Amino acid sequence: MDVLWAPWRMQYIKAPKEGGPACLFCDKLENVRDRENLVLFRSSHTFVVMNPYPYNNGHLMVLPYQHVPTLEDLGDEVLLDFMKVTRYSLDALKKAFMPEGFNVGINFGKVAGAGLGEHLHLHIVPRWGGDASFMTVVGEVRVIPEHIMTTYDTLFCVFNPQHEAKK
């Protein structure tokens, strides 16, 4: 039997589920420790956070500040900001990493795969030819080639060109 050591997953496993914060995303939003929480950008109605358990380098989530489960629950002003920030995120990823494509999607409801379905969030996963290499197919292992905090620092500078990376 092959064993894959993934000690970074323990933080997720041990994280409070019941009785913890009402919403993981709202907790990140209210907290000012953006680097620690992987928050890259805040607009008037929307924020961008890196996925701490990414499918690929630069896996982002775009979220409205408003705690709602679906797009239908957003007013026009918030929805427009949500889409503009999604576009801004795609541009930032292009500048930082030159991906060859993207997977962009929203899961509505638990049966659709929404692990945190109470707070609307859109996933952006940059893609490159060969990023699902033999390691994924044969070894059932995903290779993330850069440490998440290095990726954060790179993206923070692109999202916020007026600031240096928060180190």
Could you give the CA distance from residue 69 to residue 118 in angstroms, rounded to a whole number? Answer: 5
Q: What is the share, in percent, of the chain residues with pLDDT greater than 90?
A: 50
- Domain contains 73: yes
pLDDT value at position 93?
A: 98
CATH number at 70 reads 3.30.428.10
Most confident of 52-56, 63-67, 117-121: 63-67
Q: Which of 95, 94, 54, 62 is nearest to 78 (CA)?
A: 62
- Domain contains 164: no
- Domain contains 4: no
- Domain contains 133: yes
Q: Which of 80, 61, 79 is nearest to 70 (CA)?
A: 79
pLDDT value at position 141?
A: 64
In this predicted structure, the answer to whether residue 17 has a pLDDT above a threshold of 60 is no
- Domain contains 60: yes
pTM exceeds cut of 0.85: no
pLDDT value at position 25?
A: 84
Lowest mean pLDDT among 37-41, 133-137, 156-160: 133-137
Give me the catalytic one of 45, 121, 147, 163. 121
**Is residue 67 flagged as an active site residue?**
no
Cα of 35 vs its chain's centroid, Å:
13
Lowest mean pLDDT among 23-32, 45-54, 56-65, 132-141: 132-141
Domain around 123: 12-159
Q: Find the length of the chain.
A: 167
- Domain contains 115: yes
DSSP 162: T
Give me the amino acid identity at 164. E
Q: How many domains does the chain have?
A: 1
What would the pLDDT profile of 132-142 be if each residue is shown by its tens digit? 655 554 556 66
- Domain contains 82: yes
| Residues in contact with 48: Cβ distance below 8 Å, sequence separation at least 6, in sequence order | 39, 40, 41, 42, 60, 61, 62, 63, 85, 89, 159
- Domain contains 167: no
Provide the 10 A C-beta neighbour count for residue 159.
22
pLDDT value at position 108?
A: 78
Predicted confidence band of residue 124 (pLDDT cuts 50, 70, 90): very high
Residue 9 backbone phi and psi in degrees, to 5: -70, -20
